[in-house]
Amino acid sequence: LIDRLQDTTTIVVSAHRGLKCACPENTIPAFRRALEAGVDMLEFDLRLTKDKRLAIIHDDTVDRTTNGTGAVSEYTWAELQRLDAGGWFDKAFEGCRVPALEELCELLAASGANAPLLNVEIKPSADAIDAADRAVETLRGYGFLERCVFTSFDASVVAHVHDTYGLRTQGFPAESMRHFVDGPGGTYSKMWAAAFSMEQLTPQRVRELRERGLQTWCYCPDTERDVFYALGCGVSVMTCNDPFPAMRLRRRLEADDS
């Protein structure tokens, strides 16, 4: 499955924080619904709680995506579990909790042969390297490392995962990363793939990074027009808030080919 990430003739669809267009992001229902939709990959964000549990949550505070306030790093796991992570999105999701990485792994383990690829994003923070080590350890325990690409906007995390574990990493164009190191042996040499936002995406920029030997990726083409544009730029791996336009277009292109 991972080889498909290198095959530019087929669209690969990753669900950004799960099925974010229909569910509260980074929750178990969002991941379950993305799997049901048939995406190729799940993207999710990791941060450490005060007592060093890996929580799947995007922001550095709980304010936007739960009914609580304050920094994730100031919550113990037990305290975080008392927050509602679904009601802010829709009443129907009230009672959802911030999931632990292990809970997502259990869901994937139950998917067996249909388990998707994983885009594991370590969010920048003071303890991001520790978070990366713990994520690798947990994912290794489930036998999932081969299906993972580790992402970070912090170039030190990307370099650490590359140098310590030799795992696939994804970074971003230099201007989007903190601690970016220029030159030979620098951050680009530690990256397996680079992800462009739709604002950054141009054919020239894609060519430049492909010439450096990097896989290219984009986020978030959520309309058919965006998906066409990405393909025109030479990018076929797509992290989407709404994966359906990309999947519909893929089906149409495959039908045209046959």
> How many residues sit close enough to ligand G3P to count as binding (CB under 6 A)?
9
Residue type (1 letter), 173: P
Residue 25 near Ca ion by CB under 5 A: no
Residue 239 near ligand G3P by CB under 6 A: yes
Residue 138 binding result from ligand G3P, Ca ion, none, given CB thresholds of 5 to 8 Å by partner type: none
Residue 195 binding result from ligand G3P, Ca ion, none, given CB thresholds of 5 to 8 Å by partner type: ligand G3P
Helix extents (H) in the chain: 28-37, 77-81, 101-111, 128-141, 155-160, 187-190, 203-211, 224-233, 244-257
State which residue, 16 or 53, has the beta carbon closest to ligand G3P.
16
Residue 254, Cβ neighbours under 10 Å: how many?
A: 11
In the chain, count H helices and then E strands: 9, 9
Residue 45 near ligand G3P by CB under 6 A: yes
The single residue of 58, 160, 162, 179 carrying the catalytic annotation is 58
Residue 43 near ligand G3P by CB under 6 A: yes
> How many residues sit close enough to Ca ion to count as binding (CB under 5 A)?
2
Are 252 and 224 spatial neighbours (Cβ–Cβ below 8 Å)?
A: no
- 162 a catalytic residue: no
Residue nearest to ligand G3P (CB): 219
Let me know the angle formed at the C-alpha of 206 by 145 and 173, rounded to the nearest 5 degrees: 65
Are 23 and 30 spatial neighbours (Cβ–Cβ below 8 Å)?
A: yes
Binding to ligand G3P (CB under 6 A): which residues in 4-33? 16
- For residues 126 and 35, give the distance between their C-alpha atoms in angstroms, rounded to a whole number: 32
Residue 131, phi then psi, degrees to nearest 5: -60, -45
Looking at residue 188, the DSSP 8-state letter turns out to be: H
State which residue, 138 or 239, has the beta carbon closest to ligand G3P.
239
Residue 53, phi then psi, degrees to nearest 5: -100, 145
Binding to ligand G3P (CB under 6 A): which residues in 169-198? 195
Residues engaged in binding ligand G3P (CB under 6 A): 16, 43, 45, 58, 121, 151, 195, 219, 239
Residues engaged in binding Ca ion (CB under 5 A): 45, 121
Positions marked active-site: 16, 58
